[in-house]
Amino acid sequence: MIRKQEITTFEFPENAIIWDVRDSSAYAEAHVKGAVNQPISGLSADSLTQVSTDQPIYILCGGGSKAPRAAELLEGYDSSREYVILMGGTRAARDAGLALEQGA
């Protein structure tokens, strides 16, 4: 199941699995605190083995175009999971004053 959530009104649950699907250089420039870099180009069914099946996977990108594509791709591998697209991505998070980190 894929659902959408505005990143600016979202409260990250403790131990949330957050995947930033941008390339590694964009991720290193700035990313949401706690996000793990999982470039869309490298996503596969094996990527999902890293996450318990009962945990939602929160997906974001820079502005909102890659995250929906990544969620659809992942849902194709396992439609029983919950995927949450964080709308607005890193840019909206930055504009809203959310904590961002730099580096890999």
Q: Does pLDDT of 55 surpass 80?
A: yes
User: pLDDT tens digit string along 72-101?
Assistant: 999 999 999 999 999 999 999 999 988 899
- Domain of 91 in residue numbering reads as 2-101
Q: In Å, what is the CA distance from 91 to each residue of 18, 25, 38, 100, 101?
A: 16, 15, 18, 10, 13
User: pLDDT tens digit string along 21-40?
Assistant: 999 999 999 999 899 999 99
Task: Provide the whole-model pTM.
Answer: 0.93
Q: What is the CATH number of the domain that holds 38?
A: 3.40.250.10
For the chain, the domain total comes to 1
